Amino acid sequence: MQICPRLEIDVNKIKHNTLTLTKLCKEKGIDTAGVTKVFCGIPEIAQVLVDNGVTMLADSRIENLVKLQGINAQKLLLRLPMISQAKETVRYADISLNSEIKTIAALDAAAKELERMHNIILMIDLGDLREGVWQDHIEHTIGEILKFENINLLGIGTNLTCYGGVIPNKTNLSRLVEFGEIIEAKFDISLTIISGGNSSSLYLLEKGEMPDRINHLRLGESIVLGRETAYGDPIQDTYQDAFTLVTEIVELKEKPSVPIGEIGMDAFGNKPVFEDKGLRKRAILAVGRQDMSVQNIIPLDPNMTILGASSDHLIVDVTDCTENYAVGDEVRFNIEYGALLQLMTSEYIYKHVK
C-alpha cells in the first residue's frame, strides 16, 4: 500500500506542458520564466522546466529560491523584496521585481556589500491594484533607480488578473510598451525585458494581439495545470491533470442525510443547512481543511459528490457510484490552483513525484 494522503505529480505531463508553452512563446519572441511557487520550488520539478525551455526560474519566496540554488538557471524573485531580506534577495535572486525606491536602496547597499550587481524589473500598475508604480510616478522612479551604482535596471513589467481581476489586453499591454519607449527615449537607455504578465496573458498570443515588444512572461498555473487564467480555459496540447490527490477511505456507512438533534455551529463557526435525501452511503476520507479548501478539488469518480469537510475529514456521498468502494480503498481527485497551493504546503500530504 502507498502512503495516503498523497499528491501524485506526473513530471512527464509537466514536461509536455512546459515544452508546449515555451515553444508557443518562443515563436512570438517571448522568453518564459517558469514559476515554481505553486509547487514550493521542488528542485526535481524545477529542473524539468529548465530542461524544457524556460529561460529563468521565478518564485515569490526566498526560501524556495534557496532550494533552487543547485539548478543552473537565472532566478527571479516575484514578490516585492522585504527590506529585512535585502541581503538574501541579492544573494539568491539574480533579478527581483520592485516598486519601492526605499527597497531598491536597501538592495543596492546589500549588493555593494556582496560586491555584485543586482538586476531589477520595475513593476508598473496598469490597474489591477496589486504591485507597481502608478503611471505618474514612473519617470521620477526611473530617475532615482539609475542613480544606484549596484543596481541594473533590466526592464519593466506588470502583473494583472491577481487582485483586481483585470484582464490583460492589447490596450493595457500596449500602454506598458509605450511607457517603456518613453523611458528609453527620455533616459537614453534600452530596456532588455518588458515582462507582460502571467498565465492570464497567454490568450493574447493565440489571438495574435500581444504587442511586439513584450518579450517576457512569467508562467505558473499554465505550466503546472495547463490552464490560461484570463478566462480559465484549458490550453490546447497541455495536460490539466499533472497533479492528483489520492486519499483513503476510513469509514463507509449508510446514514441519514440530515443530522439528528439541535443544529448549532460546525467546526468553523458556520451554521450548516441540510437537504433531506433519505439514507445515503457516505465515505469519510482522511484529509481535511487543514490540507486544502474543498471547493477546489474534483472527484475523478463523476458520480461522487463532496458533502463537506472538517479539519481532518472529508465526507463524500458515494450512493450513486458504480464502483463498489470499501474501507481502505483509495479515492482520487483532480485539483485546481487554490487547492494545489495548499496541498503542496501541507506537511501532512506526501508528495510523490513520478
Ligand X SMILES: *Cc1c(COP(=O)(O)O)cnc(C)c1O
Provide the annotated active-site residues: 37
Cβ nearer to ligand X, comparing 229 with 247: 229
Residue 210 CA, distance from chain mean position: 22
Residue closest to 180 by CA, chosen among 153, 199, 147: 153
CB of 243 to ligand X, least distance (A): 14
Under the binding rule (CB under 6 A), the answer on residue 35 touching ligand X is: yes
Q: Where are the beta strands (DSSP E) in 87-238?
A: 95-98, 118-123, 151-157, 193-195, 216-219
Asked if 38 contacts 23 with a C-beta cutoff of 8 angstroms, the reply is: no
Q: What is the DSSP letter of 163?
A: S
CB of 201 to ligand X, least distance (A): 9
Cβ nearer to ligand X, comparing 37 with 137: 37
Say if residue 5 is preceded by a cis peptide, omega within 30 of 0.
Answer: yes
Q: Which of 94, 108, 125, 221 binds ligand X (CB under 6 A)?
A: 221
C-alpha cell at 189: 537607455
Cβ nearer to ligand X, comparing 122 with 318: 122
DSSP H/E element including 307: strand 305-309
Under the binding rule (CB under 6 A), the answer on residue 98 touching ligand X is: no
Q: What is the DSSP letter of 84?
A: G
CB of 294 to ligand X, least distance (A): 21
CB of 229 to ligand X, least distance (A): 5
- DSSP class per residue in 13-58: HHHHHHHHHHHHHHHTT-EEEEE-GGGTT-HHHHHHHHHTT-SEEE
Cβ nearer to ligand X, comparing 220 with 299: 220
Beta bridge partners of 156: 122, 194
CB of 130 to ligand X, least distance (A): 8
Q: Which of 159, 215, 238, 247 binds ligand X (CB under 6 A)?
A: 159
Q: Which of 104, 219, 316, 339 binds ligand X (CB under 6 A)?
A: 219
Under the binding rule (CB under 6 A), the answer on residue 60 touching ligand X is: yes
Contact string 178-217 vs ligand X (x = CB under 6 A) = --------------------xx------------------
Q: Which of 17, 32, 98, 222 binds ligand X (CB under 6 A)?
A: 222
Cβ nearer to ligand X, comparing 16 with 218: 218
Residue 31 CA, distance from chain mean position: 18
Chain residues binding ligand X by CB under 6 A are 35, 37, 60, 78, 97, 159, 198-199, 218-222, 229
